[in-house]
Structure 1
């Protein structure tokens, strides 16, 4: 699945120190849009004149970007990476408190609690219904 990160999104990556996550994943710089209809065309450029020359949109394969973000997170000393498949959200008094998941090996069911739970399992989400 392809993604188009707008210039503002790239600026946010820079602000967070994550701009290297779009490097070496075949990301293409995008400077605007081209519209074609009935043999005519027009170009719409992003208004980038006031930014550093590297600022532009980026088009890339979603999986490669997500993998780079995972690698970046795993490299941080205050992050512990747990991999598995979430089977359900853990709710207490109407608030999501964590997740229940199967370990990567698939042989153990675990519970993990956190102050913030982000549901980001894609457009075919199984968890969205329970929110």
Structure 2
């Protein structure tokens, strides 16, 4: 079965970028189809500390409320420990905001409050606004992502599609016309935007140089009620550690 309903845009992937792109386009009056293999909350550690620039982008997109009601914690800067000597690195003073572009994305502010933070169980908006310095925020990735998706799917011009995108629909000249979805057929749009991550299978269509190569790994720990050297800071510990009798996994 093929579906030939013409959307203005198709967005592949509902990670962090996909819902933001789809929301921005929908608020500009475009009809958007956003496709994701699974819409359930992911359980993984990815980007748990959002820098002030990221929050600025969320405000400009009218999606800042995505950090609300997920027990997010404000971050004032970094704590850096190097060979036992420590230093605090605060985030910049708010005065620098006057020197950069903070204009909202066209159409992003519909009701007038989409760029306003609200207080919840862990964030105090009065304290936030009274701070002379900018702030970051720490949260669980999965909960933040579900908020982004909820904001996106609340837009009347956005259509949700759950399914595995298996390929692109192209004409005889190689122009992309839409997507192929397993067991659901074809969906077409004027423009297709791929936001399904660095391991996207579509990267190889652009060339071998675009295919992601894994060069390292990291291990994430979820610490509960840990006593940190500097609360409300991101911690970078650069101390010499000797590993003995470590076997490669």
Change (3 A) 1:46 1:78: same
Tell me, yes or no, if the aligned pair for 1:48 and 1:56 is still in contact at 8 Å.
Answer: no
**Greater CA drift, 114-123 or 38-47:** 114-123
Over the aligned positions, Cα root-mean-square deviation in angstroms equals: 2.3
Question: Aligned in 2, Cα 1:47/1:101: closer, same or farther, shift over 3 Å?
Answer: same
* Alpha-carbon offset, residue 39 of structure 1: 0.9
Structure 2 vs 1, CA of residues 125 and 60 (structure 1 numbering), >3 Å: closer, same or farther?
farther
TM-score by length of 1: 0.78
Three-state SS of the structure 1 residue aligned to 2:193 is coil
Partner residue, 1:70: 149
Gaps of 5+ in 2: 1-44, 98-127, 207-249
Q: How many residues align?
A: 126
Aligned to 1:2: 46
Which of 1 and 2 has higher RCO (CA within 8 Å, sep 6+)? 2
CA distance in 2 between counterparts of 1:17 and 1:10 reads 10
Misfit runs of 4+, over 4 Å: none
Instruction: Specify every segment of 5 or more residues in structure 1 that has no aligned partner in the other structure, as ranges.
Output: 103-107
1-side partners of 2:191 and 2:146: how far apart?
21
TM-score by length of 2: 0.45
The residue aligned with 1:38 is 83
Q: Is the 8 A contact 1:85 1:101 kept in 2?
A: yes
Q: Which has the higher strand share?
A: 1
Question: Aligned equivalents of 1:29 and 1:118: distance in 2?
Answer: 32
Contact 1:32 1:44 in 2 (8 A): yes
Q: Is 2:68 the counterpart of 1:23?
A: yes
Match of 1:105 in 2: none
Cα shift at 1:16: 1.8
